[in-house]
């Protein structure tokens, strides 16, 4: 196994992600800003945070697979969400739960950060996902 996840004693628990990932591989995979668009650019789930999280994660899975990786190889996920407010966490987590089994996203997730931003590159984009993975 190239990635080992852990949440050492003394770190906040429970969380929907592990706090630490240790990668031992030699090949790194970086999947840049995935959003809720189909391959032809068609928007998915306009105005629906859960739906956009789910599609952005599907697209991230496609990028990882293209490099021979999967979510079990992911060291870190970063989510950028527009106009973030704490009350959006329910919809955000619903999007993750909607696709976790489908895309092989472990629960708890790899170490992850959620960053609130004012605006992403287009007004209908509510979320963007980036992933870093390691392979032998």
> Would the pTM count as exceeding 0.85?
yes
Residue 95, both tokens: 């999007």
Contact 37, 45 (CB under 8 A): no
**pLDDT at res. 121:** 87
Q: Which residues of the chain have pLDDT under 50?
A: none
**pLDDT at res. 1:** 60
**pLDDT at res. 136:** 87
**pLDDT at res. 25:** 84
The two beta strands, 74-82 and 112-117, are: parallel
Q: Is 12 helix (H, G, I), strand (E, B) or coil?
A: coil
Place of tokens 């973030």: 84
Could you give the angle at which helices 89-103 and 49-66 cross, rounded to 10 degrees? 30
Domains of the chain plus CATH, in order, are 3-135 (3.30.1330.40)
Contact 74, 64 (CB under 8 A): yes
- Could you tell me how far CA 118 lies from the centroid of its own chain? 19
Question: How many angstroms separate the CA atoms of 115 and 8, rounded?
Answer: 23
């Amino acid at each position: 196994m190239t990635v080992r996840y852990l949440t050492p004693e003394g770190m906040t628990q429970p969380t929907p992600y592990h706090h630490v990932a240790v990668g031992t591989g030699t090949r790194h995979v970086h999947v840049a800003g995935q959003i809720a668009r189909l391959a032809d650019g068609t928007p998915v789930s306009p105005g629906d945070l859960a739906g956009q999280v789910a599609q952005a994660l599907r697209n991230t899975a496609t990028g990882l697979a293209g490099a021979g990786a999967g979510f079990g190889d992911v060291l870190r996920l970063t989510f950028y969400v527009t106009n973030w407010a704490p009350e959006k966490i329910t919809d955000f987590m619903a999007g993750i739960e909607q696709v976790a089994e489908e895309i092989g996203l472990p629960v708890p997730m790899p170490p992850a950060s959620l960053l609130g931003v004012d605006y992403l590159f287009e007004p209908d984009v509510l979320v963007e996902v980036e992933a870093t993975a390691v392979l032998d």
